[in-house]
Amino acid sequence: MRYRLGRTLIPAPEIQARVRELAGVISRDYAHRDLLLICVLKGAAIFWGDLCRALRVPSQSDFVAMESYGDSTSPLEEPRFTKAADVSLSGRDILIVEDIIDTGHTSVRLRELLYAAGPRSLAMCALLDKAERRQVVTPIEYSGFVIPNAFVVGYGLDFDQQYRHLSHIAVLESLPED
């Protein structure tokens, strides 16, 4: 299959406006708390960069990376961290910063792993929510946009490590074989 960049789903100015709104709500909710942003590499890196700079409360940040589920979602093969957090999570107010919640499996597992480290609170901030695709229930306390069931790229999200640099979110189109 060949692919190409397709139509714009969310233009850059809309993303920027929504990130500012989310940062406003998070700043209100986390005033006088001990906010630790956990950015999930690699897809959330650009979102994290804009979000943390728009916050009006102090925050610390750390980074994790997860093994991917691929196509198998067997509970016998729970994905682990390929990079765990460096700082202690115990007693912290953790806000996970994610690019997209699709089936929900990564989020469920990530919450389990982080919860085991004993934070005071744990919440999810995801830029995109592909709600139609959900297979397991997982809360998204701060959600940027609910999007339809399409493969999207840009603003950190990739296809084969491409397109992360785009300032907007676009649909990846598959081309017919010739």
In one-letter notation, the amino acid at residue 104 is G
Region of 16-24, 49-57, 95-103, 111-119 interacting with ligand IMP (CB under 6 A): 95-103
Question: What are the C-alpha distances in Å from 32 to residues 26, 56, 59, 154, 157?
Answer: 12, 11, 11, 34, 32
With CB cut-offs between 5 and 8 Å by kind, which of Mg ion, ligand IMP, none does residue 102 bind?
ligand IMP
Kindly tell me the burial class for residue 158, based on how many C-beta atoms sit within 10 Å of its own C-beta (0-12, 13-18, 19 or more).
Answer: middle
Residue closer to ligand IMP by CB (options 88, 174) is 174
Half-sphere exposure of 5 (CA within 13 A, CB side): 14
Query: Does residue 103 interact with ligand IMP by CB under 6 A?
Result: yes
Mark the segment that binds Mg ion (CB under 5 A) among 10-18, 39-47, 125-133, 146-154: 39-47
Contact status, residue 93 vs residue 59, Cβ threshold 8 Å: no
Stretches 2-10, 56-64, 102-110, 116-124: which one binds ligand IMP (CB under 6 A)?
Answer: 102-110
Site string for ligand IMP, 23-62 (x = CB under 6 A): --------------------x-------------------
Task: Give the span between the Cα atoms of 97 and 103, in whole angstroms.
Answer: 17
Is residue 129 a contact residue for ligand IMP (CB under 6 A)? no
178 classed as catalytic: no
**Which residues are designated catalytic?**
102
